[in-house]
Chains A and B, each alone.
Chain A
Amino acid sequence: MNSLRRSFGPILSLVIVVLVGVWVIGMIVGPQLIMVEQSLWNKEIGGDAAMNSTRIDRLYNEVDTLGFDISDAEALAESPKRTEKIATITAEIDAKKSTIKELEAVEIKPEKIYSFKNYTLMGASHFFIFVKTIGAAVAVTIIAFIVCYPIAFTVAKVATPGKAALIMLFLIIPYSINELLRVFAWLMILDNNGVANLLLGFMGFDPISFLGSGAGVFIAMIYAYILFMVFPIYNTVETLDSSQIEAARDMGAPTWQIHRKIVIPHAKPGIAVGCIMTFMLSAGSFAVPNIMTRGIAEPWFTQLIYNKFFESSNWNVGSAYAFTLVIACIVFIFMMMRFFGVGIKDIAK
């Protein structure tokens, strides 16, 4: 706090503190708390009250239908029969309206009931998708690590500066294109009639349903989040003194031992950050699975959350689902930090 004041002066540091405070409370803590609150209550509608509201709904429907009947009748030619018909329908509507009034008068507004009930509502099939999503995100993270570590190491330590810049450029250029477009590109490649299957066809193989098997989601996700793995690893490997690698080699260490004993221990904080980011992004990704599964493959858990919110209109259960995912991600972060033996401080570096 004092150092902040020393570098920016009292007014500017106050502004900074207030802005950060507003941002943290308004954008992070606030919405999360609202979500948690939502997830903890539900409105119980049962017994007579439920019957009552269904009756009201039905009567409203009937009134609407009768409205159509009136229009039909009015379309007929002028005759006493027509006048009579309109009169009976109008009477009927009035009767129903008054019943509605009566019923609405006794309708009980349901109350918020606080409980953990929303968290217990997840059925076996949804829980299975939750577990599968977490598992798949872990798998994406591992594969992304296997793909990215050699790239990061090459760029940081092996390639000449010119080549390293070129590789980085090739990695970054696609990221200047909208994420959706990139994912759609994969869709075109991996579709059943897509480029990949076209090539396989030329080579005489049967087409593979990349999308149906869920492999498409994997591939697109690894591609979408590769930079978030490459950069943190690259940053830490870059700081490793190359002569340590040479010293290890000089003392007879084979390549894999150099990585195991020297490079990876040094790059641990970067690897942890990369894994955490990739995991969070892929577990929480909505666009990629939405585009790549499109109902062909099983949905991602985020799609279930979306459905709860906007298709079942059940914000309470939706919040519970979302918060469950948040908890899973936090647990994963702590597991990764334990696993790599790094603290918050190392990661912040």
Chain B
Amino acid sequence: MKVLMKGNEALAEAAVRAGCRCFFGYPITPQTELLEYLARRLPEVGGVFLQAESEVAAINMVYGAAGAGARVLTSSSGPGISLKQEGISYLAAAELPCVIVNIMRGGPGLGGIQPSQADYFQATRGGGHGDYRVIVLAPASVQEMADLAVLAFELADAYRNPVMILGDGILGQMMEPLELPPFKEDLPAREWATDGCRGRARRIINSLYLDAEELERHNLRLQEKYRRIAEREVRWEEYLTGDAQVLVVAFGTCARIARATVKAARSEGIRAGLFRPITLWPYPYRQLQAAAASARAVLVVEMNAGQMVEDVRLALEGRVPVHFYGRTGGMVPASGAVLQELRRIGGVGRVQHVRPA
């Protein structure tokens, strides 16, 4: 049965159904519906909802709760996610599973409250200190806000790693019909949780390694885990890429716009296709390379000044010209403008030019 929900609420309800009984967060637009939904919903299922005094406190409550063995969620937007970075580094280092939602708004600084994708670097490159990785999932519909929430908790547990869901203000606020996931009953055992040492050896959750050799061993082990994740967990979607001469690469909201544009371009005889990364880390480098095999040009569309475009260039290794079209500050690329760019780079005999970021 389909229900009609806002993206933020769909994500929140899906988290509850995925067995999450614990939320710590702080209000910020445009993710506040998520917090408010859980303030009402979690007590109904015997869960913990706590409005923390700051995002710094919230992420450290997540650390404590995750360490105590709970499936735990926190959510915020750019300015708050910046404050959470210290905690995310500690969570990754101590290998604690948790899900962090960033419903992106325009930055830098206080920026604005309109949708944006400007936290791509922060999410995929690790905004905190040290060599660590966070799995980053990018939904593009209300259905995916829910589905990826379930997946996020599963990946977090499977790899004992923080997972970030990177949405934007449009995905958070818009309403779409969706199929909610079923309730999950049995959660994986946590043989590492600190929940009192009755009848067993005591456990320690920690990220301090004062001995350099020991810290390097710890890092090598983490890197090995990240390699495993990169091998197994890459996710993406393709649309009309088979014969595409112009390939659009976009994630989240921009991928929805790009899809409509690709269709329009096809009707004009431009052989366009769309490649949509769903995992932003690990990034589908090889898959993108394959999808771009027949492409003569690639256009990356983002709601930022050009961030994912760097991963696209890394993937394509200079084999195809990579163009960029982006809007910032909460401005959303219009399908017409993207189509114009497609015509420019895909149309025969035209000069290749792209408006700089």
Q: Is this pair of chains taken from one and the same complex?
A: no
Hey, which bits of chain A sit against chain B, CB under 8 A? Answer: none
